[in-house]
Amino acid sequence: MLICPDYLTGIPGGFLIKPLIGITSNTADDDRIGLITRQGAKKQEWQLLADDYIKSVERAGGIPLIIPVVKKLSSIARVLDLLDGIIFSGGVDIDPYYYGEPPGYGLGRVEPERDRHEIELGQKVLYEMEIPVMGICRGIQLLNIVAGGSVYQDIRLDREHSFNHGMLDIAPKDYLAHEVSIKPGSLLHSIFKAERIRVNSFNHQAVKELGKGFEVSMEAEDGLIEGIEMAGERFVAAVQWHPEMLIDKYDYYLRFFEAFIEASTRYRQQQG
């Protein structure tokens, strides 16, 4: 009996190495993270990522790899060369400096080192590499800003007639808060095979001015942008909601990750 290692996927005529997927991490200077979990000491800073992202990539057939925030992008150049796909994960607000605005009253916490790192990383990934790209929550905002777009610093203050999109302290992670419409013919439509689906909602910011090269493919009932993608054959798609938080209860939402992993697998094959 032939045993296939976990990092190999059986295919007709042989085996294919699973795609390596980078996932951006969060930074935090709150030492309570280590003290409460008894994994650290006072005055320690942390880099961390919710397990939902790891599970989603693994369950969809990829190999997850957490990308740290570094001082110089050259420090992880070798890692980037190995990646077959990258996910820009969720997190705190992005400094409005990067889209040409002063800070507004509704702006939340920012992490300057993560902003600096991810803006540079996003520019490299979008414009110097060809790997598939996925963005989630902060990730959609980051990619949009890299492409020259902007975000609402606070939906409640900056956008009239929007409903409550910030359910973080109100609902569990897998609560389907509202509907979104999906543009027929879009990549996201081909993935979810529906024109309307329900999603969770944990954001107080969202895409405002669309970045160059992106198209809107998903909107909330109040017209807020919930999904964008780049035209062309390359997989570059991002959503404002959190599909990784839904997969344990609803297998349906794993489709986003499965399509991304399929695209990353094709990319690996094309590289030989």
Tokens of 73: 């992008």
pLDDT, tens digit, 9 for 90 and up, residues 15-58? 568 999 999 999 888 778 777 888 878 888 888 999 999 999 99
Q: Which whole number is the average pLDDT over 88-106?
A: 97
Inform me whether the pLDDT recorded for 92 exceeds 50: yes
For residue 106, pLDDT beyond 50: yes
Residues classed as catalytic: 137, 242, 244
Residue 28's φ and ψ, nearest 5 degrees, are -150, 135
The tokens of 43 are what? 């005055």
Question: In sequence order, what DSSP letters do the residues of 8-52 get, joined into one string?
Answer: EEEETTEEEEPPEEEEE-EEE--THHHHHHTS--TT--EEE--HH
**Backbone torsions φ then ψ of 76, nearest 5 degrees:** -120, 20
In one letter, which amino acid is 258? E
Of the candidates 18, 69, 37, the one whose C-alpha atom is nearest the C-alpha of residue 265 is: 18
Amino acid present at 213: G
Q: How far is CA 113 from the centre of its chain?
A: 18
What's the whole-number average pLDDT of the chain?
A: 93
Tokens representing residue 63 in the block:
């190999």
Q: For residue 8, what pLDDT is reported?
A: 57
Task: Give the chain's end-to-end CA distance (angstroms, integer).
Answer: 28
pLDDT at 7: 58
For the segment 197-213, what is each residue's pLDDT rounded down to a tens digit?
999 999 999 999 999 99
In this predicted structure, what is the pLDDT of residue 17? 84
Range with the lowest mean pLDDT among 38-42, 227-231, 264-268?
38-42
Flag whether pLDDT at 9 surpasses 50: yes
* Residues facing residue 17 across a β-bridge: 8
CA 171, CA 165: separation in Å to the nearest integer?
11
12 has pLDDT over 50: no
What pLDDT does 2 receive? 44
% of residues, the chain, pLDDT over 90 = 83
Whole-number Å distance between alpha carbons of 31 and 55: 26
Share of the chain above pLDDT 70, in %: 94
Q: Provide the pLDDT for residue 6.
A: 62
All structural domains of the chain = 19-270 (3.40.50.880)
Do residues 258 and 193 lie in contact, with contact meaning Cβ atoms separated by under 8 Å? no
Q: Is 77 helix (H, G, I), strand (E, B) or coil?
A: helix
More confident residue, 26 or 85: 85
Q: What's residue 214's pLDDT?
A: 98
User: pLDDT tens digit string along 160-171?
Assistant: 899 999 998 999
**pLDDT greater than 70 at residue 232:** yes
Segment 258-264 shows an average pLDDT of 98
Task: Give yes or no for residue 156 having a pLDDT over 90.
Answer: yes
Confidence of residue 5 (pLDDT cuts 50, 70, 90): low
The one-character DSSP state at 93 is B
